[in-house]
Amino acid sequence: MTDVPESIRAALAPPRRAPDRGFVLKVTARLRFEQQARLLRRAALRQIVAQGLALAATAAGLWWIWQAPDLARIAAESPDLALVAIGAVLSATTLLIAASRRRGRRGRPARRAISTT
């Protein structure tokens, strides 16, 4: 390997300049934003899974209750009443899930905004 003279190295080197603080602040803000977005995506996925499990549990409970002979007879005689009952239970479940979404963990209001500072 050949040695490059110091004069040539100095002539080819980029000029010295002060660090670009604006760029550093932009990159830092972007990294914070990405981190918060990743955390929000994880929380949203957990919430979707929890809500799906709640709806599945409600549907399974309805199916199990519906297997009772008296309810099966009522459903056979009046399918409209059965549909209204199922709709009422699913509506109540949906309202409970929506109410829990408005509250954060431990009963505090959920944070909605993403801060970049």
User: What would the pLDDT profile of 28-73 be if each residue is shown by its tens digit?
Assistant: 999 999 999 999 999 999 989 988 898 888 888 878 887 888 888 8
- Amino acid type, 77: E
In a domain, 2, yes or no: no
pLDDT tens for 66-111 read 788 888 888 888 889 888 988 898 888 888 878 876 665 555 555 5
In a domain, 7, yes or no: no
In a domain, 59, yes or no: yes
Distance CA 93, CA 99 (A): 10
Give residue 40's pLDDT: 96
Cβ atoms < 10 Å from Cβ of 50: 12
How many separate domains does the chain show? 1
- Listed as own residue / partner, the contacts of 57-62 with beta carbons closer than 8 Å and 24 or more positions apart are 58/89, 58/90, 58/93, 62/86, 62/89
- Listed as own residue / partner, the contacts of 76-82 with beta carbons closer than 8 Å and 24 or more positions apart are none
In a domain, 113, yes or no: no
Give residue 115's pLDDT: 54
What's the domain range around 29? 19-107
In a domain, 36, yes or no: yes
Distance CA 38, CA 19 (A): 29
In a domain, 42, yes or no: yes
In a domain, 112, yes or no: no
In a domain, 31, yes or no: yes
What is the reported pTM?
0.50
